[in-house]
Structure 1
Amino acid sequence: MSELNAINPATGETLARYPRMTADQLQVALDRAAATAPDWAAGPVAERAARLRDLAGVLRAQREDLARTATQEMGKRLAEARAEIDKCAAACEYYAEHGPDYLQDTMIASDASRSLIAWQPLGTVLLVMPWNFPYWQVFRQAVPATLAGNTVLLKHASNVPGCAEHLERVFAEAGFPAGVFQNLAVGSEAVADIIADARIRGVSLTGSEGAGRVVGAAAGKALKSSVLELGGSDAFVVLADADLDDTVEQAVRARFQNNGETCIAAKRFIVEAAVADAFIERFRAAIEALVIGDPIDEATNIGPLARADLRDELHDQVTRSVAAGARLVTGGEPRAGAGYFYPPTLLDAVEPGMPAFDEETFGPVAAVTRARDADHAIELANRSRFGLGGSVWTADPARGEALARRLECGCAFVNGIVKSDPRLPFGGVKDSGYGRELSELGIREFQNAKTIWVGQA
């Protein structure tokens, strides 16, 4: 395919066609990134921080146009797209304020007269990014990477080419030198060769488990640093003492925000048996009150899925789960007509071995599993090959924290929805990947922790 096509998932109509880079254009971009890296790294960190502050201003000034492109290309509600831009701007400001401190030498006592860790950039980093948060997923890697002195090449998802072009443009308008951040309009088939290129020093992927295995293997073969943030099947553990009204309200947000297309959405609702019937009845009523429709419309709660194949895959998972014994409480049939709409769906009596329990359901489908007690709930939560996030809901926060420590995941929340926050490390374990984004740990991923040992003259 010689073009990247942007298709409106609410209508199925083609919005625009974008030409792919030629092989020569790709080489120019790689050369520019590698040539820019030394001077960008050698400059004062205060200057790089200033560019991030300017970038936050550009984002806020262009918030509506950026948000509308995301909504049109991948179907998220316009209100959520605006919030995504705001979050990107806040991350720029967070790293502009705190990032320089993270880059200071770390002094270590040893047998030297002076010894330390000098944190130095690796060079050029490739970002292979997904469509579901077309700005935020990029910013949470690109912001710390560029502040640390790296240059960045973006290979974005092929169905959000307009968002990808916006990203390169806003970095340029914020005063970043040409070559610090570039968009590569290429398909996924080009990624392995780019990773293998000597000008690339590291790679970060946010995407599916399958894509992670391919990119991780390519990075390993090339001996490149890599960060993989992959799929998730987060457990939302409801204990018998939880406030059900509040918990259900949060459960709806946790599952159905971003049309359910988020790796850290709550997907498996593991509920103590004593309150399971009451939870399900409240959850059903709240789900059936959600409004499905045009994501531009402010009254809409659920927009379309991003692509037709994603809707088909989700419906297949629901169908196979029901055939295996799950009970369909509400939803479960694709909406007829234009667009890739799937209704908010609730399954009960979901057990290990069913697709809705074992696989990642990337869309508006909630699966309820009943647990005998809290210990059984944690056992069920951990019976997953994924380990991205998880949450515990209880009237006793101390007990909730003790149980959260037992969850096999990278992010565990008590009485709160799992979210990414620039102040906190973000990432998973098991088949949800490795490495960390955000916070001080995130800026370390693409730095050389260089030991410097100085003896007496």
Structure 2
Amino acid sequence: MKTFQVISPVDGSVYLEREYITSNQIETLLATATAAQKTWQKVPLSEKMAICERAVEYFLAHADAIGEELTWQMGRPIAYTPNEIRRGFQERARYMMQAAPQALAEVSVSEKEGFRRFIRRDALGTVFVVAPWNYPYLTSVNVIIPALLAGNTVILKHAQQTPLCAERYAEAFKAAGLPEGVFQYLHTTHDDVARIIGDSRIDFVAFTGSVSGGHAVQRAAAERFIATGLELGGKDPAYVRADAPLAFAVENLVDGALFNSGQSCCGIERIYVHEKVYDDFVQGAVALVNQYILGNPLDAGVHLGPMVRTSAAEFVRGQISEAVTQGAQALIDSTSFALDKAGTPYLAPQLLVNVDHSMRIMTEETFGPAVGIMKVSSDEEAIQLMNDSEYGLTASVWTGDADAALHIGNQIETGTWFMNRCDYLDPELAWTGVKDSGRGCTLSALGYESLTRPKSFHLRVSGY
């Protein structure tokens, strides 16, 4: 039996070891999911919702323990990890339950004499969810809860850095009374993931991860007529207009860039500031970043823990170093952050100015606690620069003028447009991206559309 280890970024120790699933076990898992789905789809929606609610209650009751083990697995400070369950996870799960009755209801059409006509939303079958390590519960709940409510069975594969998250789901659904086989998880290799996607018993794939991972999912599904939902990377921009609420913008954009050590798909990765407020913005941002504490994520008061692994930190160090070589100026003295040391996953936050789009720090996904700040002279220049990207997940404007925000937002190539907010998912709104940020939609009532298929009923009831 082959195994893998989870190396904790906290101290480099082996946190846990797990076995990979075998080929025979994969076969059993797929067969079980297919058989269970035939019964599960007939369960009344009210009963499905009650089971999912009990699962959410399980998570809430164990939020502290789940938070601590998540800190050990991926390094986010323990001050924040339980809130992944208490806030976002709970909010999204419960909204998708609330939206289910209407989203899954039959669609009526106009009356036609002698006929009964309507559209029903049928479950797809088995949904394969491939989830990442950076927000392992928030990303996966977007699909798991609505997929189950729609009558699908679910197979979950979590990143190898966070395998306990998949196991926690299984515990929660078992405690909630979910019938056996309706939810299952596996620990497996990339090669086996591709083989599973290619299996005829998989009916939809929901993947959150890198662009290269998205291409791999697409290749694996290419021989089959199934859909894939892909939530990939981002290089999310913010534009601070001359009329921005400046102190508010500084506070929220610094948090949006540095929270989770910058390891967020929709984190702020580049900031454009109008020349009239540029100096004040930069001064405020530097002062705030210098108040951050980089430390052991198990200690109280720590804002930044280690990145998920040393290689990730070295990648960000490389972007910063290259930008400085090309003329950028790093404004944060990393030596004032004692734990920042090359060859470790502990990395100080960084702000860079004198940047432009010839530098990777402004065009390539960083996924770390570093952000470039660039001066602009007009809305038009900001729009051009914001759209100058391979990505389009979220973007934001900071202004006191809602009409201007709408005017600019209509021209930005993005899945979500914010005014005076960033790095947040509202479960009532569609979560989607454009360009290399992926395709498909989760959350909102629209999130159910990719997890069901329409089936039309056309009944001649008289006149035959």
TM-score normalized by the length of structure 2 = 0.95
Q: CA deviation at 1:169?
A: 1.5
Give the whole-Å Cα distance in 1 for the aligned partners of 2:448 and 2:174: 22
2:353 aligns to what? Answer: 348
Instruction: Report Cα offsets for 1:421-453 as digits up to 9, x if no partner.
Output: 221110100000000011111111111022222
Q: Which runs of 5+ in 2 are unaligned?
A: none
1:381 paired with 2:386, answer yes
2:74 aligns to what? Answer: 74
SS in 2 for 1:291: coil
- 423, 431, 434: which one pairs with 2:428? 423
Amino acid aligned to 1:65: A
1:434 aligns to what? Answer: 439
2:368 aligns to what? Answer: 363
Give the aligned length.
Answer: 457
Q: CA deviation at 1:68?
A: 0.9
SS in 1 for 2:59: helix
Note if contact 2:56-2:172 (Cα within 8 Å) is conserved in structure 1. Answer: no
Q: CA RMSD in A?
A: 1.6
Note if contact 2:116-2:460 (Cα within 8 Å) is conserved in structure 1. Answer: yes
Amino acid aligned to 1:342: L
- CA 1:17/1:111 → structure 2, altered by over 3 Å: closer, same or farther? same
Note if contact 2:334-2:340 (Cα within 8 Å) is conserved in structure 1. Answer: no
Instruction: Report Cα offsets for 1:357-389 as digits up to 9, x if no partner.
Output: 110010101111221211110110000010000
1:63 aligns to what? Answer: 63
2:93 aligns to what? Answer: 92
Q: CA deviation at 1:142?
A: 0.3
1:107 paired with 2:108, answer yes
Q: CA deviation at 1:339?
A: 4.9
Give the whole-Å Cα distance in 1 for the aligned partners of 2:116 and 2:282: 62
Question: After the TM superposition, which parts of structure 1 deviate over 4 Å for at least 4 consecutive aligned residues?
Answer: 331-334
Instruction: Report Cα offsets for 1:138-187 as digits up to 9, x if no partner.
Output: 11110111111111111110111122211221121111111111111102
Moved more, 350-359 or 299-308: 350-359
Note if contact 2:79-2:302 (Cα within 8 Å) is conserved in structure 1. Answer: no
2:261 aligns to what? Answer: 259
Give the whole-Å Cα distance in 1 for the aligned partners of 2:455 and 2:344: 52
2:252 aligns to what? Answer: 250
- 439, 446, 449: which one pairs with 2:451? 446
Give the whole-Å Cα distance in 2 for the aligned partners of 1:110 and 1:274: 60
Amino acid aligned to 1:30: L
Give the whole-Å Cα distance in 1 for the aligned partners of 2:119 and 2:300: 51
Note if contact 1:11-1:338 (Cα within 8 Å) is conserved in structure 2. Answer: no
Q: Which runs of 5+ in 1 are unaligned?
A: none
Give the whole-Å Cα distance in 1 for the aligned partners of 2:254 and 2:374: 16
1:284 aligns to what? Answer: 286
1:5 aligns to what? Answer: 5
- CA 1:255/1:241 → structure 2, altered by over 3 Å: closer, same or farther? same
Give the whole-Å Cα distance in 1 for the aligned partners of 2:14 and 2:368: 22
1:139 aligns to what? Answer: 141
Give the whole-Å Cα distance in 2 for the aligned partners of 1:412 and 1:190: 37
Amino acid aligned to 1:97: Q
SS in 1 for 2:132: coil
Give the whole-Å Cα distance in 1 for the aligned partners of 2:342 and 2:420: 39
Note if contact 1:259-1:303 (Cα within 8 Å) is conserved in structure 2. Answer: yes
Amino acid aligned to 2:239: V
1:405 aligns to what? Answer: 410
Moved more, 225-234 or 112-121: 112-121
Give the whole-Å Cα distance in 2 for the aligned partners of 1:330 and 1:171: 46
Give the whole-Å Cα distance in 1 for the aligned partners of 2:349 and 2:218: 34
- CA 1:259/1:23 → structure 2, altered by over 3 Å: closer, same or farther? same
Give the whole-Å Cα distance in 2 for the aligned partners of 1:164 and 1:331: 39
Give the whole-Å Cα distance in 1 for the aligned partners of 2:332 and 2:440: 38
Give the whole-Å Cα distance in 2 for the aligned partners of 1:110 and 1:367: 58
Identity score, percent: 33
1:49 paired with 2:49, answer yes
SS in 2 for 1:78: coil
1:319 paired with 2:321, answer yes
Q: CA deviation at 1:331?
A: 4.8
SS in 1 for 2:251: helix
Note if contact 1:216-1:228 (Cα within 8 Å) is conserved in structure 2. Answer: no
Give the whole-Å Cα distance in 1 for the aligned partners of 2:258 and 2:111: 52
Note if contact 1:50-1:96 (Cα within 8 Å) is conserved in structure 2. Answer: no
TM-score normalized by the length of structure 1 = 0.97
Amino acid aligned to 1:147: L
- CA 1:59/1:37 → structure 2, altered by over 3 Å: closer, same or farther? same
SS in 1 for 2:421: coil
Amino acid aligned to 1:196: G
